[in-house]
């Protein structure tokens, strides 16, 4: 089945930028719903940004105008460009991939990565 791995996290000062990547193995011709989530210690996991099956993107209000989500379906990649980072962006960031139905798609379920840590200092 699909394996999901995030990368690109690190420690950055407030106002800086980071670019996160999410790699999903296998089934390159399948259409996916792809989303980023984040979770701070002691807090509930929350939606950040994502791309639906039809290619439309959406964002949480807290990151609109600062974050940009994009994808490369040929490489099974999902990206999150994060600009003007704030201390409240500090969290573990997770990638979630959900395939559409089809002969060239895997079993339909949510596939999660193990996360990449983003730490913003003020």
Q: Residues near 85 by Cβ (< 8 Å), separated by ≥ 6?
A: 12, 14, 15, 16, 17, 18, 66, 118, 120
> What DSSP designation does 105 have?
S
Distance CA 19, CA 35 (A): 15
CB atoms within 10 A of CB 90: 19
Per-residue pLDDT at 28? 74
Q: Residues near 12 by Cβ (< 8 Å), separated by ≥ 6?
A: 18, 85, 118, 119, 120, 121
Per-residue pLDDT at 84? 98
Q: Residues near 1 by Cβ (< 8 Å), separated by ≥ 6?
A: 26, 106, 107, 111
Per-residue pLDDT at 87? 96
Helix (H, G, I), strand (E, B) or coil at 25: coil
Per-residue pLDDT at 1? 76
Residue with tokens 């989530």: 37
Beta strands 10-13 and 116-121 are parallel
pLDDT band at residue 104 under the 50/70/90 scheme: confident
Over the stretch 59-102, which tens digit does the pLDDT of each residue have? 999 999 999 999 887 788 899 999 999 999 999 999 999 988 88
Per-residue pLDDT at 72? 86
Over the stretch 11-63, which tens digit does the pLDDT of each residue have? 999 999 999 999 988 787 788 889 999 999 999 999 999 998 788 999 999 99
């Amino acid at each position: 089945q699909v394996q999901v791995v995030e990368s690109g996290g690190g420690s950055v000062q407030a106002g800086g930028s980071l670019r996160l990547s999410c790699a999903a193995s296998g089934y390159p011709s399948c259409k996916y719903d792809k989303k980023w989530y984040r979770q701070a210690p002691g807090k509930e996991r929350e939606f950040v940004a994502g791309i639906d099956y039809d290619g439309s993107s959406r964002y949480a209000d807290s990151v609109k105008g600062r974050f940009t989500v994009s994808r490369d379906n040929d490489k099974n990649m999902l990206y999150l460009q994060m600009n003007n980072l704030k201390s409240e962006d500090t969290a573990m960031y997770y990638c979630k991939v959900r395939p559409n139905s089809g002969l060239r798609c895997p079993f339909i379920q949510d596939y999660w990565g193990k996360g990449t840590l983003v730490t913003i200092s003020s």
